[in-house]
Amino acid sequence: MPTSAKKIVVLDRDGVINVDSDAYIKSPDEWVALPGALEAIARLTQAGYRVAVATNQSGIGRGLFDMNALNAMHLKMHKMVAAAGGRIDAVFFCPHTAEDQCECRKPKPGMLKMITERFENDPEETPCVGDSLRDLQAAAALGFIPHLVLSGKGQKTLAAGGLPEGTIVHADLRAFALDFLSEEHE
């Protein structure tokens, strides 16, 4: 890894860190961490990794919640991760709907490009963890290492097939952190 590259892990939010809902997560009360997810982020932080979140939040574009609600959800997430001994270094989000055809909404790689610019990470050395095909497609488009977790929409994503080449599958974020960190020390 080049000396300028930073050790970073990129995570999707809904279905990876917290419970997902087809009705959208619209408030801090609805934002509920998945079992083991906060501890997984803490493990990554304590192992020297920076953690960035890249999340589609089309509920804003659909008028289901506003920026104040999103900020409150993310404040709750940051506080809960910190209480578990971890840290999220940045949250990147796309407020647009698919109809907007923006470059930041996954499966397009705009958010991941922003993360790479901000953190100067080498995509080929950077795991990107998601539960949907669009998360994995965005990762693969820039050469990130795609990791599918089977939480959230992950089971359906795996069953549907068509995963990008090289996708690594884990039960959940906790399993990803354990697998990834043990692999690093081999």
Question: Does residue 96 have a known ligand-binding role?
Answer: yes
Q: Phi first, then psi: what are they for 54, rounded to 5°?
A: -125, 115
Question: Does residue 128 have a known ligand-binding role?
Answer: no
Q: Phi first, then psi: what are they for 123, rounded to 5°?
A: -55, -35
* C-alpha–C-alpha distance, residues 148 and 180, integer Å: 12
- Residues whose CB is less than 8 angstroms from the CB of residue 25 and which lie 6 or more positions away in sequence, other chains included: 14, 18, 19, 31, 59, 73
Which residues lie across from 55 on neighbouring strands?
A: 93
Q: Tell me, yes or no, if 14 is annotated catalytic.
A: yes
How distant, in Å, are the alpha carbons of 42, 75, 119 from that of 5? 21, 28, 8
Residue labelled with tokens 């009360």: 29
Q: Tell me, yes or no, if 20 is annotated catalytic.
A: no
**Whether 142 contacts 8, CB under 8 Å:** no
| Catalytic member of 12, 20, 135, 172 | 12
Question: Does residue 20 have a known ligand-binding role?
Answer: no
* C-alpha–C-alpha distance, residues 48 and 45, integer Å: 5
| Catalytic member of 14, 20, 135, 172 | 14
Q: Hey, which residues are catalytic here?
A: 12, 14
Q: Write out the binding residues for Mg(2+).
A: 12, 14, 131
Which residues make up each annotated binding site? 12, 14, 94, 96, 102, 104, 131
Q: Which residues define the annotated binding site for Zn(2+)? A: 94, 96, 102, 104
